[in-house]
């Protein structure tokens, strides 16, 4: 058995005919779900993941309906029928709620209607604490203190039990209704002992495909300790998925400890989230900052970047028109740099001067200098970089940012496969622990 990489994916689409010079969507783009393309559609000649993961929570009812009408998720996303699609509930979205948002029957119907290959039982994340809940309450993310009179230990134990109870219900319904997908039983734990207890129970129920959830934020050594603890339960007939932790550093351990699949949104998400210094990944394991050129028009407020109104207010002599001219000049400068028509110093000066207007607090001078000096986008042969050139390194809007994410997925998948094929030969860097924001 080998180790498979699943890409969590759904809203991740771009306009294939986007006009980068005019910053306009294609005139043919009447309906984004029909016109826009998914990551894999930009790589027709090669695979960039072994499977796709779709959370119920990431789809609106209208989109679910469209997928159903299209004849299932493979048809809707133009995905090769040999490539499996796994569904889960997306428990992160309701971590703050007292109960999961769905019933077991709703979840089962969703997997069935969308014609998924694998469906994960309904779960509730067990690592929530009263402190997290109180913080979210202060930020008005929760309306009622439903945890009054409870303790963290009690809530975590309830969720642990609830997840197992839902796994039993899911198994029973699946046995009765016999939908076409393979059921996966998910364990939420916290400690190696709790995961052991959960996995033992899931195997006893009858599951041959087990998933461990709630480990996205865990350190490598904690994940390894859990896997070592449950190892005696993982016989050859058992497949094992670990949610959210496809880290290169863990691959040798996954292979050793019987993990058969994992997933990670990091290659896609890091393109436009995080520290801002690791947006663009390369085949030789470098990570570069993308160069920010905030949009004057049609931009929603972004974290750490002032709105156009704020920029104009602070820079009293600047009009909206002149701000736009500076924006366009910055874009032209980057394109000229790509063509070797302008020096690095001048490019850097222009980019930083425009950046500063937006009150970006962090100093990107060194990071941008490194990106511009090394020109990594010009060394990548992937279809995205070949087609759009310097646009892929510009931090600006969905069409550039998500394309960069698609490129990262391709780079990551190649590395992932190399390590899987030769786990001892690679000096593996540690992966990301995604921070969960509540």
Among 293, 407, 420, 432, binds Zn ion (CB under 5 A): 407
**Would you count residue 4 as binding Zn ion (CB under 5 A)?**
no
Of 42-50, 243-251, 309-317, 379-387, the window that binds Zn ion (rule: CB under 5 A) is 379-387
CB 17 within 8 A of CB 29: yes
263: annotated active-site residue: yes
Beta carbon nearer to Zn ion, 239 or 408 = 408
Active-site residue among 15, 50, 123, 263?
263
Of 166-174, 179-187, 373-381, 397-405, the window that binds Zn ion (rule: CB under 5 A) is 373-381
Helix or strand holding residue 120 (H, E): strand 118-120
Number of residues located near Zn ion, criterion CB under 5 A: 5
**Would you count residue 394 as binding Zn ion (CB under 5 A)?**
no
Tell which residue, 366, 297, 375, 383, has the closest CA to residue 334.
375
d(CA 198, CA 238): 14
**What is the DSSP-derived secondary structure letter of residue 126?**
T
109: annotated active-site residue: no
d(CA 91, CA 212): 13
**Would you count residue 388 as binding Zn ion (CB under 5 A)?**
no
**Would you count residue 85 as binding Zn ion (CB under 5 A)?**
no
Closest contact distance (angstroms) between CB of 319 and Zn ion is: 38
Beta carbon nearer to Zn ion, 59 or 384 = 384
In three-state secondary structure terms, 234 is coil
Closest contact distance (angstroms) between CB of 248 and Zn ion is: 18
**Would you count residue 380 as binding Zn ion (CB under 5 A)?**
yes
Pairing of strands 287-288, 280-281: antiparallel
* List of residues 6+ apart from 31 with CB closer than 8 A: none
Beta strands in 331-426 (DSSP E): 394-395
**What is the DSSP-derived secondary structure letter of residue 180?**
S
d(CA 120, CA 171): 10
| Residue for token pair 């979205």 | 93
Q: Which string of x and - marks every residue 328-357 that binds Zn ion (by CB under 5 A)?
A: ------------------------------
Beta carbon nearer to Zn ion, 226 or 380 = 380
State the residues that interact with Zn ion by CB under 5 A. Answer: 380, 382, 384-385, 407
**Could you give the residue numbers annotated as active site?**
88, 263
């Amino acid at each position: 058995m080998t180790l498979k990489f699943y890409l969590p994916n759904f809203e991740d689409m771009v306009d294939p005919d986007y006009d980068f010079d005019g910053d306009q969507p294609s005139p043919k783009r009447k309906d984004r779900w029909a016109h826009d393309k998914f990551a894999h559609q930009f790589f027709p000649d090669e695979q960039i993941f072994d499977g796709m993961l779709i959370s119920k929570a990431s789809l609106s009812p209208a989109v679910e309906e469209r997928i159903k009408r299209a004849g299932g998720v493979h048809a809707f996303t133009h995905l090769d029928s040999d490539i499996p699609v796994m569904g889960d509930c997306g428990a992160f979205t309701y971590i703050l709620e007292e109960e999961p948002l769905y019933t077991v029957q709703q979840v089962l119907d969703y997997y069935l209607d969308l014609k998924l290959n694998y469906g994960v039982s309904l779960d509730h994340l067990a690592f929530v604490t009263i402190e997290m809940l109180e913080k979210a309450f202060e930020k008005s993310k929760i309306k009622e203190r439903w945890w009054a009179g409870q303790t963290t230990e009690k809530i975590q134990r309830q969720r642990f039990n609830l997840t197992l109870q839902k796994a039993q219900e899911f198994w029973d319904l699946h046995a009765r209704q016999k939908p076409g997908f393979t059921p996966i039983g998910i364990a939420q734990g916290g400690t190696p002992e709790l995961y052991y207890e959960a996995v033992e129970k899931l195997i006893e129920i009858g599951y041959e495909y087990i998933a461990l959830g709630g480990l996205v934020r865990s350190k490598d050594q904690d994940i390894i300790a859990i896997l070592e603890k449950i190892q005696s339960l993982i016989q050859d007939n058992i497949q094992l998925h670990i949610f959210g932790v496809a880290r290169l550093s863990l691959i040798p351990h996954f292979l050793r400890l019987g993990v058969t699949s994992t997933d990670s949104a990091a290659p896609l998400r890091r393109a436009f989230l995080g520290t801002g210094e690791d947006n663009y990944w390369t085949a030789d394991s470098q990570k570069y900052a993308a160069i920010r050129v905030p949009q004057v028009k049609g931009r929603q407020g972004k974290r750490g970047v002032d709105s156009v109104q704020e920029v104009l207010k602070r820079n009293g002599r600047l009009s909206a028109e002149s701000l736009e001219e500076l924006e366009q000049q910055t874009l032209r400068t980057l394109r000229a740099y790509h063509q070797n028509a302008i020096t690095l110093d001048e490019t850097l000066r222009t980019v930083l001067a425009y950046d500063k207007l937006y009150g970006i607090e962090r100093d990107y001078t060194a990071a941008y200098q490194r990106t511009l000096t090394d020109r990594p986008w010009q060394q990548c042969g992937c279809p995205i970089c070949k087609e759009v050139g310097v646009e892929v390194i510009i931090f600006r809007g969905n069409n550039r940012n998500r394309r960069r994410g698609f490129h990262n997925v391709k780079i990551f998948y190649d590395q992932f496969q190399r390590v899987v094929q030769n786990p001892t030969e690679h000096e593996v860097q540690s992966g990301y622990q995604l921070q969960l924001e509540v």
